[in-house]
Homo-oligomer: A and B are copies of this chain.
Amino acid sequence: MQNSFVQEFDRFLQEKKLRRTPERFKILTEIKKIDRHFEADDLILHLQREKIIVSRATVYRTLSLLEESNILRKFRFDENHFHYELHPKNSHHAHLVCVKCGTIIEFDDQELEELQARICREYRCLPVKRTVEIYGVCAKCRKKEN
């Protein structure tokens, strides 16, 4: 089941007549080892630590491909870099982000599914995706403050 990402990527590359290079698979394999949300820099560090030598350009290019193939989801919180996460199929979710410590809590957003559908119907818009982020001070940080 974890490995299905590799198969999926493989299929994607074949379909698009792109090449199945070792670099691409090494990167995906490393991503699987990282916990849910990560940034490009995290990934580059992980690769370096594992002595997997891949250029920064290739990392970014592969991230794009993984996004295109719906294996990764790309997010932007209030910072100026992106976050990525392995895309759990069929499971849209939204984020609760602590403005103090940066902790990201995920929550299910079934009712947002309906909101999106309704709004798009109303404006005759073809829905593509959505981002829903709530920012606040998490329980831990609130304790610390008091």
A contact residues vs B (CB 8 Å cutoff) = 76, 78, 80, 96, 98-99, 105, 107, 111-112, 115-116, 119-120, 122-139, 142
Contacts and interface: CB of A to CB of B under 8 A. Distances in A.
B120 A134 contact: yes
Contact of A130 (B124, B126, B129, B133): B133
A124 B111 contact: no
Contact of A128 (B80, B125, B127, B137): B137
Contact of A105 (B105, B111, B123, B134): B123
B112 A139 contact: no
Contact of A96 (B112, B123, B138, B142): B123
A125 B119 contact: no
